[in-house]
Amino acid sequence: MFHQYFPICVALVVLVAGDNGNETTSDPKPSTKLPLVTTTSTPYTPSKDPITNLYALKSQDGNYCIMVKAALRLGFQYKNPDDKDLFGYVDIPGEKNGTLVTGNCSVVNNAQVLILKFLNNWSMNFTFKQNTTLKEYNLESISIKYDIQHNNQPFPDAKSLNGETTFAMEDGHVKVLGSYMCFSQRVFNINSNSSEKLGLMNLTTINEQYQAFVNVSEIFFSQAVKRCDQDSVSNLIPIVVGAALCALIVLVLVAYLIGRHHKRGYESV
């Protein structure tokens, strides 16, 4: 009667061992093949929930060198023409909704940059830096340029406001040919204007995965993944559940075996 519980126990142990939120050293073979996206132009419309998009930068030889997958949401504090304080979010659209993926695959000063252009004159730059000695790289910084215009998307009710903010990322270093992953929601607080609480306030990322300094003909992320701390915390739940379940099964099995042993003992008398 217990044999049916063992696969569950084994599966949980495998799941927990294989997904412990740490860097795995499996070889970087193609894993998740993602559909290619084509560019058409449709007007920008803000959504209720951020949509996960894939942005991949192609080099001149037709291979991909940087891939970023994420749902990206920017929070803005702004004023209307009557100086009333307002707050709103802008989701970075996908390529099908008008975002242009540009940049340069060439490595300059050990850096590679992916640029997203969206709305009117808005941009978001991802700067990746490699360390050739340690064979590692990291997402060094994100730079955001915004241009809120009255009577224009995304906040037609706003008084015009523009600015540019660069902030450092603390994701840590990834082995070259590996990728970084963070499924958890993260909110980066950015106060782009120290003199006044105005402009870009925060960046929310969900379902994030990125890889730079690659040269691949198809879009896939390496399975050698470095996970963020936030993902590790959520992984503690299956560890606890799995351990408790296994302990219970072992306990019941031991009790059953002892019981059977005793029974057999009486029978043989």
Ligand X SMILES: *[C@@H]1O[C@H](CO)[C@@H](O)[C@H](O)[C@H]1NC(C)=O
Rounded Cα distance, 239 and 20, in Å: 9
DSSP classification of residue 50: P
Residue closest to ligand X, measured at CB:
163
Q: How far is CA 105 from the centre of its chain?
A: 21
204 forms part of the interface with ligand X (CB under 6 A): yes
Pick 5 or 238: Cβ nearer ligand X: 238
CB of 259 to ligand X, least distance (A): 38
Out of 28, 94, 154, 242, which residue is the one contacting ligand X (CB under 6 A)? Answer: 94
Per-residue tokens: 65: 């060198």
Taking CB under 6 A as the binding criterion, the range among 7-15, 160-168, 219-227, 260-268 that sits at the site for ligand X is 160-168
CB of 253 to ligand X, least distance (A): 29
63 forms part of the interface with ligand X (CB under 6 A): yes
Taking CB under 6 A as the binding criterion, the range among 3-11, 15-23, 27-35, 174-182 that sits at the site for ligand X is 15-23
19 forms part of the interface with ligand X (CB under 6 A): no
DSSP classification of residue 93: P
234 forms part of the interface with ligand X (CB under 6 A): no
Taken in order 260, 263, 267, 269, the sign of the CA dihedral is: positive
Out of 34, 140, 163, 230, which residue is the one contacting ligand X (CB under 6 A)? Answer: 163
- Cβ(174)–Cβ(180) under 8 Å? yes
Task: Count interface residues toward ligand X (CB under 6 A).
Answer: 44
198 forms part of the interface with ligand X (CB under 6 A): yes
Q: Which amino acid is at 162?
A: N
CA-closest candidate to residue 147, choices 227, 78, 66, 70 = 78
Strand 174-175 to strand 111-118: parallel, antiparallel, or no bridges (unpaired)?
unpaired
143 forms part of the interface with ligand X (CB under 6 A): yes
Per-residue tokens: 108: 């300059």
CA-closest candidate to residue 143, choices 96, 200, 184 = 200
Secondary structure E strands in the chain = 32-33, 53-58, 64-79, 85-91, 100-108, 111-118, 122-131, 136-148, 161-168, 174-175, 179-182, 186-189, 199-211, 220-221, 225-227
236 forms part of the interface with ligand X (CB under 6 A): no
Out of 52, 75, 177, 230, which residue is the one contacting ligand X (CB under 6 A)? Answer: 75
Name residues contacting ligand X, limited to 165-194 (CB under 6 A).
187, 192-193
Contacts to ligand X by CB under 6 A:
20, 22-23, 45, 47, 51, 61, 63, 75, 77, 87, 94, 96-97, 104, 106, 108, 110, 113, 115, 120-121, 123, 125, 131, 133-134, 143-145, 161, 163-164, 187, 192-193, 195-196, 198-199, 201-202, 204, 215
